[in-house]
């Protein structure tokens, strides 16, 4: 069965601290896609990254970095030197290959990040 677990419900850090948001997934497919979205207080989800199951390279984009490890079924997200503007709910999502099982995207429950000044 397809499942995404974000065990951290809320995280609170002080500005400039580094913070890692955990995401663990379950899937039977060998081809799948993982996503991270940010939901600021305005409500609109903003796309951050998309990664397919065959690309295990870590990615860095400015202060953001992602660590994809198939061996542990994890796709963790790290914010370096956090800022108040990073305060939001972050969702991890998993999509399976539609050719094998039809369209299905599962979102984790989200992690609410508070960054205090």
Partner 1 sequence: DGGITQSPKYLFRKEGQNVTLSCEQNLNHDAMYWYRQDPGQGLRLIYYSQIVNDFQKGDIAEGYSVSREKKESFPLTVTSAQKNPTAFYLCASTEGLAGGTDTQYFGPGTRLTVL
Between 94 and 115, name the residue whose CB sits nearer to partner 1.
Answer: 94
Report yes or no: 5 and 24 within 8 Å, Cβ to Cβ: yes
Separation of alpha carbons 117 and 108, rounded Å: 28
Smallest distance from partner 1 to CB 81, Å: 26
To the nearest whole angstrom, how small is the minimum distance from the Cβ of residue 36 to partner 1?
Answer: 11
Distance, in Å, from the CA atom of 36 to the CA atom of 107, rounded to the nearest integer, reads 9
CB of 89 to partner 1, least distance (A): 9
| Interface residues toward partner 1, by CB under 8 A | 4, 9, 33, 35, 37, 42-47, 50, 91, 93, 95-98, 102-110
Nearer to partner 1, 85 or 117 (CB): 85
Whether the CA torsion 13, 23, 91, 59 is positive or negative: it is positive
d(CA 103, CA 17): 38
The residue (of 41 and 62) whose beta carbon lies closer to partner 1 is 41
Burial class, 92, CB count within 10 angstroms (exposed 0-12 / middle 13-18 / buried 19+): buried
Q: How far is the CB of 47 from partner 1 (least distance, A)?
A: 5
Residue 33 or 64: which CB sits closer to partner 1?
Answer: 33
């Amino acid at each position: 069965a397809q499942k995404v677990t974000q065990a951290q419900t809320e995280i609170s850090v002080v500005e400039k601290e580094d913070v890692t948001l955990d995401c663990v997934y379950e899937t039977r497919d060998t081809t799948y896609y993982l996503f991270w979205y940010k939901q600021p207080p305005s409500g609109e989800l903003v796309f951050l990254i998309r990664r397919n199951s065959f690309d295990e390279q870590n990615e860095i984009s400015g202060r953001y970095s992602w660590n994809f490890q198939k061996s542990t079924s994890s796709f963790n997200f790290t914010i370096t030197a956090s800022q108040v503007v990073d305060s939001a709910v972050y969702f991890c999502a998993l999509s399976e290959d539609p050719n094998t099982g039809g369209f299905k995207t599962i979102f984790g429950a989200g992690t609410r990040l508070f960054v205090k000044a």
